[in-house]
Structure 1
Amino acid sequence: MRSLPLTPSRPVTAASDGRPALPPQHLADLDLGQRQTLLAGLGQPAYRAKQISTHYFGRLTRDPQAMTDLPAAVRAGVAERLLPTLLTPVREDACDSGATRKALWRLHDGALVESVLMGYPDRVTVCVSSQAGCGMACPFCATGQAGLTRNLSTAEIIDQVVHLAGVAAAGGVTGSPPRLSHVVFMGMGEPLANYGRVIAAVRRLCAPPPEGLGLSQRHVTVSTVGLVPAMRRLAGEDLSVTLALSLHAPDDDLRDELVPVNQRWKVAEVLDAAWEYADRTGRRVSIEYAMIRDVNDQPWRADLLGRLLAGRMAHVNLIPLNPTPGSRWDASPKPIEREFVRRLRTAGVAVTVRDTRGREIDGACGQLVAAETAS
């Protein structure tokens, strides 16, 4: 493991009434037409919007001073009105022989968020946060135990991706292609609880440059613990992203404890919403299931999960739990995990075990924030 140099954080700011100040407006909050309108108000020609957008989304340049084809006087105004600093690096760690990098950011108001860059032989993936903290209160998750600070803006979400896409393009991920290809909304927060901004971020990430980053919708995954109305709304968005449902238990008694939102929307209703999404989009749903020792890893729960999913457009992603320090939760032993897999496959359910990444660098969601807050 190695840590990269720290950058001083920006001061916390607040609105005059004591509430946290809103993030400054950023190019990534706007579509191309809105960028042109804003620049026209600054006395700049319309082509400047495309020029600056090409720098940001096409060349992954986030610093206006590096946009040397812009007049120096223009760069200062661009920095203030279109490219304000949204994310200040606090810490960036690398492990897995350089294939995994985790960044901790301080936002303009002092809130902390994390994002992770993961390289594979055939792709590069960014895991992004959609909220600072999380209000879902899942007891085995460090972020859930910290509570919710606030929703991120569309640009705060996108800027995580653009920064780490630039790291990948510069060869910062060992043994992987230089181009970012996949984005997963599986970092801090419940994405569907920040619905409008997350959907706007997805659309901008998938729009062709200079409007956006040009990613394939099929290479974007949006996770949820099961906010049923938002899941049904997502099914009508005409998007082809992958929906990932964090199920973690096939029975209501246990899921009420592990995923407290289950007390409002039970397993059957959550799965019905997932199948509606699959039916309307033709996209297979990913069922996320953290394997927790002696909690949800019993053979009978594997059999029940298999019965619930058999014949459905679903794929189970078993996740070896990355325990947080001092937690009573631990990962299932490998023999138990293998038996769980065997039973699901016997039921005809597709299943894989997630590649374990980032254990050396507090890779689980919320661990870096918890460590920074405690220090």
Structure 2
Amino acid sequence: MFPTSMATSIQNTKMLLRRAFSVKRNEILARNLCFTRTLNANEDQDKSKKVVEEKKNKAELKEAKQKEAKAKLNMLLESMSKTTQKAYPSESKLSLATPKIRAKPAKPVKQPVFNTKIEPEMLQAVEDVSNMLSKENEALKNSLIAKLEDVADESERARLEPFKPNKQKTEDLNSLLNTLKVDGKKPKNKSPAPKLAPVKIEDMYGAQPSGIFSKAHFIEESSAVSGLATWDMLYEKELELAVTHPPANGFHQMIQWTKQGKVWQFPIDNEQGLDEEAQVGFHEHVFLEPHLKPWCPRRGPVRHFMELVVVGLSKNPYLTVEQKKEHINWFRDFFEAKRSILIDTGAIPDITTKSSPSLST
């Protein structure tokens, strides 16, 4: 019994000591908390007092600076009013620097701008030919350049001209395709179309006329009045659209495209559409110098100019041989008209022949 009572008493004392220690610790914490709060409150009051004092000091310094500035300004104004104004001479004796007047540069004379389609070498050749003439220099130059521009424009039109299919080959192809038949398998379950009785067509002009209009006189329209070509063209187009049906199959569509020139004609040929030039040799397009032998001089600016013209025409794939010959003949006639002037200036030699009155060789 004794040991158990001693153990319980020891435990009770420990519990009492723990409670006492916890109470003491809480009291100490509460005291510390109150002390720190009071210290913080005192510090806040001190800070607020310092801020108010700093604001007052700043305001006083600002007012003092403003007063000092006003006093200085008043003193400056008073000193300015007391000083007498000095009389300066109206004209200064100092020799000051004056800006130099530069003369305006003369405007460059604008040179006439020619067509950019003509090469510079060709323009230089035209310049050389025209320089041989003293009176008709500009007229000769303008006429030669105008002719060269016409050649360039004609070549451009020929290049942009749409493709024209050959009618004979198209008809042969159409006849060949029309002979072909397309086997279309008929559906098995399709009901047969009902057969209609043949319609009897009577001749409406077979009966005897009544003769009530035999003595009537109708005013015929004058045939001198001619309609507009635009209306006639539109009327023909409407008639063509009225009788034109969509293609029934692929072969008909290919025939229509061939007529319109949208597809190649078979057999395919690289020279398709050049039917007029089919009988002309290649050498006639390229070798054009023989056309200069009868009339063009062997040397000089005229010969140089015509050689450039011939080289340009030989490289032009859009002109026919006849068109190239026409251009060369035009230059021949042009220089023939200026023959006397060219002989006087020394562009061509003065050698006359009995056989041909053209330019000497």
Higher strand content, 1 or 2 = 1
On whether the aligned pair clears a TM of 0.5, the verdict is no
Higher helix content, 1 or 2 = 2
Higher relative contact order, structure no. (Cα contacts within 8 Å, ≥ 6 residues apart): 2
Please give the range of the TM-score, normalised by the shorter of the 2 chains.
under 0.3
TM-score w.r.t. length of structure 2? 0.14
Q: Choose 1 or 2 for highest CA Rg.
A: 2
